[in-house]
Structure 1
Amino acid sequence: MHTLSLLPLVILASNATVVSANPLLPQGNFRTECLQIGKGGRHGLIAEVTIEGNTISASAQTYAHDNCDIPTVRADYRGIITEARTNGDRIELTQETGPFLYTLLSDEVTTYYNANAGSAGCGFDDWQTGVPRDAAGRTCAPYTFPAIGTELKDSVWANQTGIEFGRMPLVWDSAPDAGYPEKPSGILFTRVTD
């Protein structure tokens, strides 16, 4: 009899935890403007991130020129947020990294990647245009991506305009003991409305 009277309390307590679990990170879709990247800022990049519950999905579209005109490479990523906490004006998050799918979007880039497998080519010399490859744990110059399951730390600053990360979208090779970034990268992801 005593055990049965405790059962409803256990069920209520477990339901309260699930219902009151409010994600700490801003939820939704965010996108950067066209960013200048590469040597002398000669290329362009537009990054997008979606945060849904404890899942963070990101994509980065690289372009041939700094005005984001001709798509060349697309990277898609998904990770699981395992911890998030506030620290002053930022939210510190830890995520378990997933795959980094790289897709080459032009035959010219495919030829270049295959000819430069040790640097730009992520160690592959058999790229095909339009066919994604998982680059997790590889260096695709200038980016080094962590292996799947790596614990990666970052920080997020949120305001009415959008969010800024300390590392994303350009830095993926931080050591697990590097700690959380203490200042934003300066790359603003603006909220995308439907």
Structure 2
Amino acid sequence: MFRDIVQLNAKGASSEKKSISPTLRSDIYTTIDQCKAWLAGTRGQAGDRVSYAPMLNTIKKHFPNTTIGLEALGQIEVEVGVIVGGITNMVLEMSKWEAFGGGMAMRTWVDALMNVYATIPQNSRKEMIARGIVRGINQKTDYSLMTKAFAARIQIISCLKSLYPKLYGTGSEESRQAEAMLSSKLI
């Protein structure tokens, strides 16, 4: 009955937009900063059931169908997946209107994820965060939002693919699987 309550539906919200939201750029960078603090545990922590609310509210401003169901509360992987997917969707939405601005925002976003992930102590929470990041990028992101401009599109894809070796190690099976999943979404 409660399956699939976690939802990140970008298509319905963005398909009717005629222009870029005037706050999208600032919302992206604000939410990236909030996410870094959240993942690092300096402002709440992934899995605490409440500290993702400001980020989720900003994401919902641009993609109103984004939700985290009650049974998913406290599940680090699910929470991180929804937040990462939502921010990635915001960046892809920006790329649709400003191709290279979206590419630069994606580089900032991926660098932020890599840098904060490197600071998290090695434990089971770190593994769940890695799985949540991969889930957000591979399952919760709507790639139809991405720019059609070739150079910016390649830049965005390259940024995203560079994340997996940082999470799982270069050449690891997990890294190859995550990259293959992403590639299948982009074909």
What's the TM-score once normalised by structure 2's chain length? 0.25
Q: Which has the higher strand share?
A: 1
Q: Which has the higher helix share?
A: 2
What's the TM-score once normalised by structure 1's chain length? 0.24
Greater RCO, 1 or 2 (C-alpha within 8 Å, sep 6+): 2
